[in-house]
Chain A
Amino acid sequence: MRPMKRLIALLLPLLAINGILAQEEESQVPYFQSSAFNVPRLGGWEDQSTDTVAQFYYSPANATIRTAMAPEEDILAAVRQDLRDLVGTALGDQIYDGKVNLADGTWRSLIFEPDEVTTISVMARKAGSQTAIISFVERDPALRTVLLTLAQADDSLEDASPEIARAAKIIAGIDMKYLAPVEITALLSGEWIIYEGDGFTAMGMVFGNDSYVALQEGAPGDLTALVEAYNRTLLGFFITPDNSGYLALALAAVFAILGGLILSFYWRWRHLRQELAMIARLQAE
């Protein structure tokens, strides 16, 4: 078997190829991970998360962003159930209720105002027999902040101004002509246009065929921080797919192919042994 030993010596330099694997790159975005969903962790926000709920609190605006998976198929019932403990009061009727198609499914956009200081913006969608809920709860008495996602009326437009006008009219009864774009700001979630009016600030961004809209009434607050945190949560939300069946299938295929190769060696070896025995018998006869 000298050629085999020589072959081993000749193939050993192939080990050097592993040197190219010496790079290591860890994930740049820290994620809250649960068995049900994943969302980015919000830097600068107080982390109040549990094993199953991602919840972050921002004290300057008395705002909370909460992501949860509710064991309920009815979206409205799931939202009410999920926010009951956080808000501490009944949500009441929604003041806005719309649907929007995002890359991962159809989401329902809801706005609640259960009392004079609390404004709740919710995005929720069905996930199997459960409901995924992303809520923004703002309880600053000096502010009223609403975050919405709306399908673009004209998807050839690069800015969200028609949807901002629509939302401003529905939510605050404000006519858009009093708002003027004052600034374009690039955030991690995208490029946003900021509009300002008398006691009113709006922000808008287009992503895909949808407009992401933020409206804030009252004294100028830290709307940019709230918009960035909420939309990073919304755009960064995803559910890890359950494809363990495919993994089992792949492993079965691997064992079948390698097992087949080894069995073919064995069967051929066994067949040769039988042939040798037969030849020996023939020679003896």
Chain B
Amino acid sequence: MPRLLRVLTGVAILGFALTFYLGFFVAGRDIEQGEIQRIFYIHMPAFFGAFTAFGATVLGGVIYLWRKSDIWDKIALAGVEVGLAFALVNLVTGAIWARPIWNTWWTWDPRLTSAAIMALTYAAYLMLRAGIEDPNRKRAFMSVYGILAFVSVLTTLFIIRVVPETIHPVIVGASPQNAQGSFEATSGVITALVPSLLLWLTLMPITLIWHRVRLENRIEAVRRLKLSVLSE
């Protein structure tokens, strides 16, 4: 394992432990929402982690189409796998928060709907990728798909700022009129949120994407070895 990746992995694990401590032991309990509000310190950063990972897919796709270098296709694929896991963390923690606060696990609110469509779009990426046999065609097609799929990420990010009929709260800036479950960005919230956001936005996706790219390199190497053994 490269030394930089070892360092990144160690820092990411320590960072996860630190942000967990800040969010669950240092930040105060929200007196209106109770303990469940603490899940926000994972819920929102997980979305931004997915944003970074899917951003890596766009970057990988664009550079692959430009240079036809396989490594960028591997980064794009790794971005989807990691981003999808983060998007699932975001969706599941949101649903569990909604049960005591909104009195329902799920509602077809614009933000929730767009987040679900985003996750399904990237799940479809993995299924489609598995279904195309020609490697070059697969890489080119999935690069274009990965770039276009990012529209669902941007839609999810901005929809609560343009569609007023949402109950999803906004923490940075004024919440929509119908928002339920808002809370103030007090110093305690900021103290716990900013390190967590930094971690999920940068270290976690980058480290996991790098590990996944190394795995893909190994898969490719074994595949080549198998072919060479079979051809002997």
Interface residues of A (CB under 8 A from B): 1, 3-5, 7-8, 10-12, 14-15, 17-18, 20-21, 23-27, 31, 33, 38, 238, 240-244, 246-247, 249-251, 253-254, 257-258, 260-262, 265, 268-269, 272, 275-276, 279, 282-283
Contacts and interface: CB of A to CB of B under 8 A. Distances in A.
Interface residues of B, number: 61
Interface of B: 2, 4-5, 29-36, 38-39, 42, 46, 48, 52, 55-56, 59, 69, 71-72, 75, 81-82, 85, 88-89, 92-93, 96-97, 99-100, 172, 184-187, 190, 193-194, 197-198, 201-202, 206, 208-213, 215, 218-219, 222, 225-226, 229
Question: Which secondary structure characterizes the binding site on chain A?
Answer: helix
Contacts of A242: 34-35
Nearest to A37: B31
A21 B198 CA distance: 11
A260 B75 CA distance: 20
A253 B202 contact: no
B6 to A, nearest CB: 12
Contacts of B82: 261
A52 to B, nearest CB: 16
Q: Closest 3 CB pairs between A and B?
A: A250-B96, A243-B100, A261-B85
Contacts, number: 146
Given A243-B34, A268-B215, A15 B202 contact: yes
Given A21-B193, A279-B229, A257 B89 contact: yes
Contact of B75 (A3, A15, A24, A251): A3
Contacts of A244: 34-36
Residue picked from A15, A24, A242, most chain B C-beta under 10 Å: A24
